């Protein structure tokens, strides 16, 4: 699953009807008259048809497009440049400006030739691995590894490739040596302790690396041509935008499972980044979310099943890594991760299922300086499309607002941090709880037809002071709600600039797309971008997202994690402003200026900003030392700098936080509920951003 989804209509019959009608359009006749000779060509034919006919802004197939596909595919199959030689690149370079022409006539010569070369080189690499692990590594040599693979040139010859594998395997072994030496230090005062020599530890570590690499080799050998074809097709379709993706039949099955809300495993959304896999999102209610140790931005380097030897996932396909991490409930998986600050941690997580109750909206009362304020947590915009009488984000938010009103709160904050989106209809309803009636969001399709989606209910559920909390991981639906309340001048938005995803995706089963020729069975699915969102003030939420009224720095501030950091992201633009009536927030300008000045001078937030800058700079340090002493010093340096920011984790506010009386009814003997609430309330008191939201509400309610 790629970047955070906003809204997914799963009506295949409607899409099929549209695509069947596409035959009347002359511009797409060439795709429908061609007859594919094999399964891959048939997939390409159908993808071409859907993209050309239905994508919001299909990329022009020209030489620039061709070169981008060429580079993306080679980067994805060999991200660290440890397989392909420069001579291989030279032989494939003739296709650099031809792929666009090939795709339009269902020709896959580039892909087939590249596939043949890459699989050949991967088999050769297996021999380099065995050779490198056959003899001891010398950790006294002043050796380094540069991990800036994008700037690395392809190897001139096999000897250079062997050396790259040697360095990687040396690092793999060195990390194990370091861990064993650190563990040995902790046991030195034991009466029966017998220290091992460095040579003994090196041998054990190298054998462990060999065992780990064997698992990697097995997974590599299990890869089928369809796996490589999926990589190629995504290199093609993602040139249109980062949210347009091809799913193989197996990938589509995984996608359907994720959309159905089943998250057996650790509850995290992953994305390939270079050699390793990056944590992109922690799923609310999942094992990782409850444990609170795994963080967005962590790079997974190794995966272990319980106490088994960890498997190094370097260069491994994302779906293979997912396969390693998933498992039966109540079993333990251990992830070795590299933190954003450069430190290495091993995190044990007991697999489980996302607790749906934790994904629903809920609220608390926050008392401060004699006033009560309401806090509403909304992790996503949920709805049951099959049964709209079931609870949804909108129905739950309405209940929470009504309970808080009865409690006599002087203001309410809505926490949309880390909320990746969901149902569009719930956004319209929720926005309507705070306004009389009027437009909430504008939607434009590829034909420039604009639909203004409105709240038509004149009733207002809550008319008091409102603050909305957002951050870099607030996306899609979150951005629409925050933007609407900001444009109406109905709320003060605080936090950091949001993600910036202002597009809608749809999904089609490619086997159902009507083209002539042989039936090749299940062809997978295509998710593509169909529309774009615009604020009621006319500006798109795409790229620019929502800029808060009061900015609060956080540790992700300077990291490349937003939509704008995606090379093929659709551009920002604007359309005509909708017709809506502004609300009044007394002294809003003064409140924003005063609070921003105070926050900028607060030591806590100065320190958070300092850490954010250090984390960003640390991500640009690509040098890894392969000398034991230098490696140890470098790790210790990162650990020591990281400790300088330990005070950030010790913050505790003076807020008095409690559950609503209505939520405690019938829960007197519910120990599980009490334990969860206690943990949640403790986390709220340790959250400086909530403390700042309360200060803003205090000024708004005077």
Catalytic residue among 312, 487, 509, 549: 487
677 contacts: CB under 8 Å, gap ≥ 6: 659
Residue 105's H or E segment, with its range, is: none
- Ramachandran angles phi, psi of 528, nearest 5°: -140, 160
Helix (H) or strand (E) segment spanning residue 507:
strand 503-509
Identify the bridge partners of residue 492 per DSSP, sorted by sequence position. 467
Helix (H) / strand (E) element for 288: namely helix 287-291
- Residue 259 phi/psi, 5-degree rounding, is -70, -25
Q: How far apart are CA 202 and CA 92, in angstroms?
A: 41
Whole-number Å distance between alpha carbons of 235 and 217: 24
Q: Distance between CA 672 and CA 682 in Å, rounded?
A: 16
476 tagged catalytic: yes
Give CA–CA dist 548/650, Å, rounded: 26
Q: How far is CA 179 from the centre of its chain?
A: 29
CB-based burial label for 119 (10 Å; 0-12, 13-18, 19+)? middle
> How distant is the alpha carbon of residue 200 from its chain centre?
41
- The rounded Cα 543 to chain-centroid distance in angstroms is 16
CA gap 9, 7 in Å, rounded = 7
Any catalytic annotation for residue 62?
no
64 is catalytic: no
Phi then psi for residue 507, to 5 deg, are: -130, 135
Q: 290, 338, 497, 501: which is the annotated catalytic residue? A: 501
Structure tokens given for 572: 């920002």
User: Per the residue annotation, which of 248, 476, 498, 540 is the catalytic one?
Assistant: 476
Report how far apart the first and last C-alpha atoms of the chain are (Å, whole number). Answer: 46
C-alpha dist (Å) from residue 298 to 225, 269, 281, 539, 613: 30, 12, 10, 33, 17
User: According to DSSP H, which parts of 133-269 are helical?
Assistant: 158-186, 198-222, 225-237, 249-259
Distance from C-alpha of 187 to C-alpha of 11, rounded to nearest angstrom: 61
Place of tokens 């210790």: 636
Beta strands per DSSP E along 54-178: 144-146
The CA distance from 390 to 384, in Å, is 6
**Residues annotated as part of the active site:** 476, 487, 501
């Amino acid at each position: 699953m790629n970047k955070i989804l906003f809204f997914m209509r799963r009506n295949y019959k409607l899409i099929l009807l549209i695509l069947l009608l596409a035959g009347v359009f002359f511009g797409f006749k060439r795709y429908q008259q061609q007859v594919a000779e094999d399964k891959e060509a048939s997939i390409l034919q159908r993808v071409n048809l859907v993209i050309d006919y239905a994508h919001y802004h299909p990329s022009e197939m020209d030489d620039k497009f061709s070169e981008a596909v060429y580079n993306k595919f080679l980067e994805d199959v060999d991200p660290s440049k440890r397989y392909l030689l420069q001579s291989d690149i030279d032989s494939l370079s003739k296709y650099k400006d031809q792929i666009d022409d090939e795709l339009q006539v269902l020709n896959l010569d580039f892909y087939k030739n590249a596939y043949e070369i890459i699989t050949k080189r991967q088999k050769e690499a297996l021999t380099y691995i065995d050779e490198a692990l056959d003899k001891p590594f010398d950790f006294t040599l002043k050796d380094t590894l540069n991990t800036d693979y994008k700037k690395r040139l392809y190897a001139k010859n096999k000897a250079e490739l062997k050396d790259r594998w040697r360095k990687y395997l040396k690092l793999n072994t060195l990390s194990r040596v370091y861990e064993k030496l650190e563990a040995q230090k902790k046991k030195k005062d034991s009466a029966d302790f017998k220290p091992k020599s460095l040579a003994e530890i090196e041998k054990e570590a190298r054998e462990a690396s060999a065992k780990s690499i064997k698992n990697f080799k097995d997974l590599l050998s299990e890869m089928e041509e369809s796996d490589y074809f999926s990589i190629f097709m995504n290199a093609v379709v993602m040139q249109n935008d980062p949210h347009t993706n091809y799913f193989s039949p197996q990938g589509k099955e995984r996608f359907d499972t994720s959309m159905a809300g089943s998250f057996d495993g650790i509850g995290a959304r992953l994305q390939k980044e270079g050699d390793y896999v990056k944590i992109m999102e922690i799923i609310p209610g999942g094992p990782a979310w409850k444990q609170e140790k795994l963080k967005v931005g962590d790079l997974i380097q190794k995966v272990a099943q319980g106490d088994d030897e960890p498997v190094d996932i370097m260069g491994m396909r994302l779906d293979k890594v997912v396969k390693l991490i998933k498992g039966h409930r109540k079993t333990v998986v251990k992830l070795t991760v590299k933190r954003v600050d450069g430190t290495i941690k091993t995190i044990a997580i007991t697999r489980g299922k996302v607790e749906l109750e934790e994904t629903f909206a809920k609220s608390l009362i926050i008392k401060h300086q004699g006033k009560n304020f309401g806090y509403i947590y909304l992790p996503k915009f949920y709805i049951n499309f099959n049964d709209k009488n079931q609870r949804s984000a909108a129905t739950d938010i309405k209940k929470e607002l009504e309970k808080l009103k009865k409690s006599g709160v002087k203001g309410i904050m809505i926490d949309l941090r880390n909320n990746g989106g969901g149902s569009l209809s719930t956004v319209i309803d929720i926005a309507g709880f705070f306004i009389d009636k009027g437009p909430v969001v504008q939607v434009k399709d590829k034909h420039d037809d604009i639909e203004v989606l409105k709240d038509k209910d004149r009733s207002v559920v809550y008319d008091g002071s409102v603050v909305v909390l957002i951050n870099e991981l607030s996306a899609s639906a979150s951005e629409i709600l925050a933007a609407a309340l900001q444009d109406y001048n109905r709320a003060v938005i605080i936090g950091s600039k949001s993600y910036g995803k202002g597009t809608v995706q749809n999904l089609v089963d490619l086997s159902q797309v009507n083209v002539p020729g042989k039936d090749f069975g299940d062809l997978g699915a295509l998710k593509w971008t169909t529309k774009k969102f615009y604020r009621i003030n006319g500006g798109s939420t795409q790229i620019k997202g929502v800029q808060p009224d009061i900015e609060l720095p956080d540790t992700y501030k300077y990291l490349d994690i937003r939509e704008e950091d995606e090379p093929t992201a659709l551009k920002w633009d604007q359309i005509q402003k909708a017709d809506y009536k502004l609300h009044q927030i007394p002294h809003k300008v003064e409140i924003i200026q005063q609070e921003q000045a105070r926050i900028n001078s607060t030591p806590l937030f100065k320190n958070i900003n300092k850490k954010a800058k250090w984390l960003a700079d640390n991500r640009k340090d690509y040098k890894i030392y392969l000398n034991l002493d230098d490696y140890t010093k470098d790790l210790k340096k990162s650990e020591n700098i990281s400790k300088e920011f330990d005070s950030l984790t010790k913050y505790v506010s003076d807020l008095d936080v409690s559950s609503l009386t209505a939520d405690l009814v019938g829960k007197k003997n519910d120990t599980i509920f009490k334990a969860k609430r206690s943990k949640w309330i403790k986390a709220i008191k340790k959250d400086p951003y909530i403390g700042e939201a309360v200060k803003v509400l205090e000024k708004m309610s005077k």
